[in-house]
């Protein structure tokens, strides 16, 4: 329980979009690794489920309701985390939404919502949290990109945002490296969550069939679980990963999206 802290006090991690899916699994994994975890999501009530799971396993966590695309809410959330849990030195920018549509049918609001949550959200959260990392001369930032960054039909907005997050990650690595802060991105392939379930529903395919179809094209013959991504986050935020920065790891069960 104390790998995360070098002085005995636990380090504090923020995971956005942690009420469910990849974020919830990541929050639980980081708590197991010894971090006190701020479970941030749009709705504080929804975030409480993840907090209860962490506490039941003997960890420490705080539910925080905030919209990552709203600067005032982000600043208030990070200030509350710093005062109630301690200065955050790990940030996982995971909150995400889909507004898929073919380009000719994509509305301005489909575009804006996706850019605001993924790109502006990661920018605002990172800007608010980095000062604590710089003060501590230690920090770890992990951004959730996607294999869609390489291009995906029906996702002009999402693929642009996820590719943008890769450039953001590399720039953070360059700017913050001298303060002991690393920044890396994870680009998952198909992970079984509410997000992929909603895509299956929209396409009118039962989720089990959708999973089987995807698995048949993945070299390891299965789709991913949230825990697969949480494992990689755990590596990137570990003490020993301090020389790995500005990288994008495709976690997709094979080399291709």
Catalytic residues: 158
Residue nearest to ligand NAP (CB): 21
Q: Which of 12, 15, 22, 81 binds ligand NAP (CB under 6 A)?
A: 22
CA angle 226, 148, 227 (to 5 degrees): 10
In 3D, which of 191, 137, 187, 138 has the Cα closest to residue 167?
187
Q: Which of residues 32-51 bind ligand NAP (CB under 6 A)?
A: 41-43
Contacts of 145 (CB under 8 A, 6+ apart): 162, 163, 165, 166, 169, 185, 186, 187, 248
Phi, psi of 30 (to 5 degrees): -65, -35
Tell me which of 10, 21, 59, 154 binds ligand NAP, using CB under 6 A.
21
Give the nearest distance from C-beta 25 to ligand NAP in angstroms. Answer: 8
- Would you say 195 or 244 has its CB closer to ligand NAP? 195
Q: Report, in Å, the least distance between residue 178 CB and ligand NAP.
A: 28
- Does 231 bind ligand NAP (CB under 6 A)? Our answer is no
**16 contributes a contact to ligand NAP by CB under 6 A:** yes
Stretch that binds ligand NAP, among 65-73, 100-108, 207-215, 241-249 (CB under 6 A): 65-73
Q: Please state, in angstroms and rounded to a whole number, the distance separating the CA atoms of residues 43 and 80.
A: 16
Binding status of residue 228 toward ligand NAP by CB under 6 A: no
User: Residue 139 to residues 57, 123, 163, 167: CA-CA distances in angstroms?
Assistant: 25, 16, 23, 19
Number of residues that bind ligand NAP (CB under 6 A): 28
DSSP for 183-239, written as a single string = EEEEEE--B-SHHHHHHHHHTT--HHHHHHHHHTTSTTSS-B-HHHHHHHHHHHTSG
The site map against ligand NAP for 119-148 (x = CB under 6 A) is --x----------------------x-x--
Q: Shortest approach of ligand NAP to residue 133 CB, angstroms?
A: 21
Spatial separation of the C-alpha atoms in residues 147 and 162, rounded to whole Å:
8
For the chain, state the CA radius of gyration.
17
Q: Are 13 and 91 in contact (CB under 8 A)?
A: yes
Q: Could you say whether residue 68 binds ligand NAP (CB under 6 A)?
A: yes
Q: What is the DSSP letter of 33?
A: T
Minimum CB distance to ligand NAP, residue 70 (Å): 8
The one segment of 30-38, 173-181, 184-192, 231-239 that binds ligand NAP by CB under 6 A: 184-192
Which residue's CB is nearer to ligand NAP, number 155 or number 182?
155
Residues of the shown chain interacting with ligand NAP in the complex, contacts defined by CB under 6 A: 16-17, 19-23, 41-43, 67-69, 94-97, 117, 121, 144, 146, 188, 190-191, 193-196
């Amino acid at each position: 329980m104390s790998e995360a802290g070098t002085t005995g006090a636990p380090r504090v991690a923020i995971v956005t979009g942690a009420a469910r899916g990849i974020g919830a699994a990541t929050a639980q994994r980081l708590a197991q690794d010894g971090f006190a975890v701020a479970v941030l999501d749009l709705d504080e009530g929804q975030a409480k489920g993840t907090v209860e799971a962490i506490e039941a396993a003997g960890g420490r966590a705080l539910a925080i309701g905030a919209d990552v695309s709203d600067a005032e809410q982000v600043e208030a959330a990070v200030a509350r985390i710093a005062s109630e849990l301690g200065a955050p030195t790990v940030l996982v920018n995971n909150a995400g939404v889909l507004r898929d549509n073919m380009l000719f049918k994509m509305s301005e609001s489909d575009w804006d919502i996706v850019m605001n949550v993924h790109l502006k959200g990661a920018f605002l959260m990172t800007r608010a949290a980095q000062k604590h990392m710089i003060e501590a001369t230690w920090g770890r930032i992990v951004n959730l990109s996607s294999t869609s960054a390489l291009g995906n039909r029906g996702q002009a907005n999402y693929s642009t945002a996820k590719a943008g997050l890769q450039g953001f990650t590399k720039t953070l690595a360059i700017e913050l490296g001298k303060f002991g802060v690393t920044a890396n991105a994870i680009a998952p392939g198909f992970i079984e969550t509410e997000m992929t379930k909603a895509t299956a529903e929209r396409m009118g395919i039962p989720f089990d069939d959708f999973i089987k179809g995807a698995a048949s094209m993945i070299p390891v013959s299965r789709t991913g679980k949230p825990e697969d991504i949480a494992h990689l986050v755990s590596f990137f935020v570990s003490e020993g990963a301090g020389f790995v920065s500005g990288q994008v790891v495709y976690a997709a069960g094979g080399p291709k999206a």
